[in-house]
Amino acid sequence: MFRSAVVRSLRTSLPRAVRTPAPFQIRSSAAVRPSQFAARLAFPAVRCYSAPAGLAKDEVEGRIVNLLKNFDKVNDASAITGSSHFSNDLGLDSLDTVEVVMAIEEEFSIEIPDKEADAIHSVNQAVEYILSQPDAH
């Protein structure tokens, strides 16, 4: 009882702050018009960007040719062109071809499924596969 009397006396002795309603409060007694909230619900301008352009065919072919030139099991690095076949022109066996496909996966940061990796036997086929992948970079 003594405590509540002290609290009441302190409340009366302190100056009261003027309370103004917050601008986002809705008063139940006043009629609400939709135009009152139009400015508060507006969204700031948002700039949208498109996805980056895909890789160019020349760039993909150049990266694959450079990868093959640095591959130590290639017989003749000067014979590597855009139409080189891995086994016929470069002398790679099936295991080497798998290693080349894995190196291509790392180069372009993609994952090539085994079924599709078995179909890649030349630089042209690798280039066409990379160009068909939208997430290759």
CATH of the domain at 101: 1.10.1200.10
Q: Is 99 within the bounds of a domain?
A: yes
Residue 32 vs residue 102, higher pLDDT: 102
Q: What share of the chain is helix, strand, coil (3-state, %, to 5)?
A: 45, 0, 55
Q: Is 23 within the bounds of a domain?
A: no
DSSP state of 133: -
Of 81, 87, 86, 56, the C-alpha closest to 66 is 81
What does the alpha-carbon distance between residue 84 and residue 121 come to, in Å, rounded to a whole number? 9
Q: Is 35 within the bounds of a domain?
A: no
Does the pLDDT value for residue 134 go beyond 70? Answer: yes
What does the alpha-carbon distance between residue 81 and residue 20 come to, in Å, rounded to a whole number? 78
Burial of 41 (0-12, 13-18, 19+ CB in 10 A): exposed
Domain extent, residue 117, equals 57-132
Per the CB < 8 A criterion, the answer to whether 127 and 86 are in contact is: no
Q: Is 37 within the bounds of a domain?
A: no
* Residues tagged active-site: 93
Does the pLDDT value for residue 36 go beyond 70? Answer: no
- How many structural domains comprise the chain? 1
| Whole-number pLDDT of residue 20 | 59
DSSP state of 36: G
Does the pLDDT value for residue 56 go beyond 80? Answer: yes
Per the CB < 8 A criterion, the answer to whether 106 and 47 are in contact is: no
| Whole-number pLDDT of residue 117 | 93
Please report which confidence band the pLDDT of residue 104 belongs to, taking 50, 70 and 90 as the band edges: very high
